[in-house]
Amino acid sequence: MPDPQLTDRWTPDGMRALTLLLHGGAEHAQTPVDGRSLAWRRMRTLGQHIAPALVADGVGVAVLRYRMKGWNAAADVLPSPVPDARWALDEIVRTYGDLPVAVVGHSMGARTGVAVADHPSVRGVVALAPWLPPDDPIAPLTGKVLRAAHGRRDKVTSPRATRRFVEHAATIADADYTDMGPVGHYMLRRAPLWDAFTAAAVREILG
């Protein structure tokens, strides 16, 4: 099984903050994630699109690739992407110091981002077409920021569930939901709109 890896980084001189991108996956899968992964490549492309504007603001961007594809929740172990994301956040601290971090996650990556939002470096989470079951814990978001965006034609994850999750999270966090209109799950239609939402949300979280 490969190690988790920060595969792409855009880091300006004098970097004041960093954005960590978390890709999607599957509910159950033990397949290693490699360079052919469409989910990882999608987030890599997002990084390429948003990095120039963020880097100009002094905000770096890094893309994480998990060890395996699945969430793989079980009663006695952490879901597979969660320890990988925690490793990435600790690696950012080791490499760059105590910079504030905004986590951007698509689909399963958003669920992962919420799970690690209690890391001291994390200021907030940008959840794109997220997989956020309404009964998932909201405690990691306490005192943090959540900006969620979902398309109405998403047939993979549920916009309605995301709305309910955001409403619940708003009791302990600065949480807001954005309707992205008649688009689906993979952020292919209206891609510039997804890019613009993401960059604006990161800026809002990091100041």
38-56 helix and 191-206 helix, angle to the nearest 10 degrees: 60
pTM for the whole thing? 0.97
Domains in the chain with CATH codes: 5-206 (3.40.50.1820)
Contacts for 196 with CB less than 8 Å, ≥ 6 apart: none
pLDDT in tens, 9-58: 999 999 999 999 999 999 999 999 999 999 999 999 999 999 999 999 99
Flag the least confident range among 64-78, 134-148, 152-166. Answer: 64-78
What mean pLDDT, rounded, does the chain reach?
Answer: 96
Strand partners, 38: none
CB 173 within 8 A of CB 145: yes
Handedness of CA 121, 127, 130, 133 (dihedral sign): positive
